[in-house]
Amino acid sequence: MKVTAGVVQMDVRLGDVSGNLARAVSGLRRLAGRGVNLAALPEMWSAGFDYPRLTEHAERTPELLERLAREARELGLSIVGSLPESTPEGVANSSFFVDEKGVRRPPYRKVHLFSPTGEDRRFAAGDRAVVLDTPLGRIGLIICYDLRFPEIARKTAEMGAEILVIPAQWPVARARHWDVLATARAVENQVFVIAANRCGADKDTLFAGRSKIVSPWGNILARAGKRPATISASLDFGEMASFREKIPCWRDRKSILY
């Protein structure tokens, strides 16, 4: 099946669930109008890191997922995005894959929590990599800070991921790292990367935007600037197969050493 991927880059307004939902849906509809069938939303897209009301926002997540499922059915889209999820261990920052059949299980719960801003004190950490078999291919899920840990991306690739989707809230101050790491994860694992960052600001923190779709060769197939935008690109799986054949990293690995 042909895969055309897209990103809704949006300003995630703190605590504004109705407004964020409207912005997300508007972007998804624009992407569907361009023939996109795999769309990514940013990290914590419904309300941002609104810690005082985190439990309340997590309780609304099933309702938001149902809305995404309706949009997926109407638009012929598969959608990935991160939301707060109520779990027995506490609220997790979870990336969900939603299509016309509803929410695919399991979600991916963010493993690496960003301690400098206290995520490790607010969220329950995930404990496993997730790769989902979908009609669009095998899709691996990681979130934001996970991008700094090549092991989690490699684990998804070892599990057969062909596409890695990364919702994020990455700041301007470290935008260069975002660009380098997203490309590195694509090249070293020979997979497509769909990196969906937010833009805008929360208090004193400016967010980078610069969402991108990266090929296994490291080519930037589509890139956003610093403002709200929708981007899209076709994914050529033949290119991925060709790259893996010409540069046979998987065959040449010395996994006994690592």
User: Which is catalytic among the residues 43, 71, 85, 162?
Assistant: 43
CA 1, chain centre distance (Å) = 21
Does 43 participate in catalysis according to the annotation? yes
From CA 107, how far away is CA 82, in angstroms rounded? 9
One-letter amino acid of 166: I
Question: Would the CA dihedral through 78, 74, 15, 123 be positive or negative?
Answer: negative
Degrees, nearest 5: CA angle 152-176-139: 30
Does 254 participate in catalysis according to the annotation? no
At 122, list the tokens.
């607010």
User: Which is catalytic among the residues 85, 110, 155, 212?
Assistant: 110
User: Which is catalytic among the residues 119, 144, 155, 212?
Assistant: 144
**Residue 16 CB neighbours (<10 A):** 16
Q: DSSP string spanning 13-77?
A: -TT-HHHHHHHHHHHHHHHHHTT--EEE--TTTTT-S-GGGHHHHHHHHHHHHHHHHHHHHHHT-
Does 199 participate in catalysis according to the annotation? no
Active-site residue set: 43, 110, 144
